[in-house]
Amino acid sequence: MKVKDKVVIVTGASMGIGEVTAKLLSKQGAKVVLAARSLDKLKNLEKELNGSYAIKVDMTDEKEIKNMVKKTVEHFGRVDILINNAGQGYDAFTTDIKIDKFKYLFDLNLLGPVIAMQEVIPYMKKQGEGSIINVASGTALMFIPGMGAYSSLKRSLVGVSLTAREELEKYNITVSVIYPYITSTNFEKNTIKNGVMQDEGDSPPMPGDPPEYIAQKILDLINSKEAESFAHDWMGKR
């Protein structure tokens, strides 16, 4: 699908991969809905990106997710593309996983994207076309000590996404998954720590792929309608 003039919701647009993706899609002529909790940051970005629209949303809150889609359609009259990007890491060995934190991450990294999909799909069906990109993680393809909680949710997101892809093909709605590898954002700093990683304080983002590299992969995935896109080819060889 070409993004020009399309209405695109980008969750987690206040920083990192989401912010850079929103900028790239806007540059390509999309009307971008900027969604996250940090409304001040979104409002600044809204001023920068022509025709964009900031919506405050906590992606762990079902009502707020529904409201995000409702406000999108009220404002633009349609929704063409959903990019489920908001997410957070959690470093803890299996024995140390805190149940409340795991449940929170379940809501954010898995259930939130599913609810957002459920909300946009009826509009996409009516419009006869749609594209949903779910941001997974290279860790979904690996078994890294301390990452059981986070990676299992991303693995589940892949499962839900690729199943929905089969279900929605007949409606001309494409569901795709992208697997970023280590990307230079504040992701590691924002990761919930539980004894595995040290708190980095004000340290710079971990060296990795620039977020612009992943944003371009997301744009390519919308255009190509492929099922999966890997930050690096070796990740797809499983």
Residues classed as catalytic: 150
Measured CA to CA, the distance from residue 97 to residue 151 in angstroms comes to: 13
Query: What is the spatial distance between Cα 111 and Cα 104, in angstroms, rounded to a whole number?
Result: 10
CA gyration radius for the chain? 17
Name residues contacting ligand NAP, limited to 83-112 (CB under 6 A): 85-88, 108
Stretch that binds ligand NAP, among 16-24, 44-52, 74-82, 169-177 (CB under 6 A): 16-24
Interhelix angle 148-168/112-127, rounded to 10 degrees, is 20
Q: Is the dihedral of CA 198, 201, 207, 210 positive or negative?
A: positive
Shortest Å, Cβ 95 to ligand NAP: 23
Least distance from ligand NAP to the Cβ atom of residue 170, Å: 28
121 token code pair: 């799909």
Closest approach, Cβ 24 to ligand NAP, in A, equals 13
Asked if 102 and 88 touch (Cβ cutoff 8 Å), the reply is: no
Binding to ligand NAP by residue 235, rule CB under 6 A? no
Among 15, 114, 197, 227, binds ligand NAP (CB under 6 A): 15
Residue 34 near residue 48 (C-beta atoms within 8 A)? no
Tell me which stretch binds ligand NAP (CB under 6 A): 1-9, 123-131, 134-142, 162-170. Answer: 134-142
**3-class SS at 94?**
helix
Helix (H) or strand (E) holding 217, with range, is: helix 211-224
Q: Which is nearer to ligand NAP, 56 or 165 (CB)?
A: 56
Residues 6+ apart with CB under 8 A from 156: 110
Report, in Å, the least distance between residue 125 CB and ligand NAP. 26
Binder to ligand NAP among 18, 130, 146, 148 (CB under 6 A)?
18
Residues 29-58 that bind ligand NAP (CB under 6 A): 36-38, 57-58
139-178: contacts with ligand NAP (CB under 6 A): none
Judged by CB, which is closer to ligand NAP: 102, or 187? 187
DSSP state of 29: T
Q: Which stretch binds ligand NAP (CB under 6 A): 2-10, 11-19, 119-127, 216-224?
A: 11-19
How far is it, in rounded angstroms, from Cα 33 to Cα 29? 13
The contact set with ligand NAP (CB under 6 A) reads 11-12, 14-18, 36-38, 57-60, 85-88, 108, 135, 137-138, 180, 182-183, 185-187, 190, 208
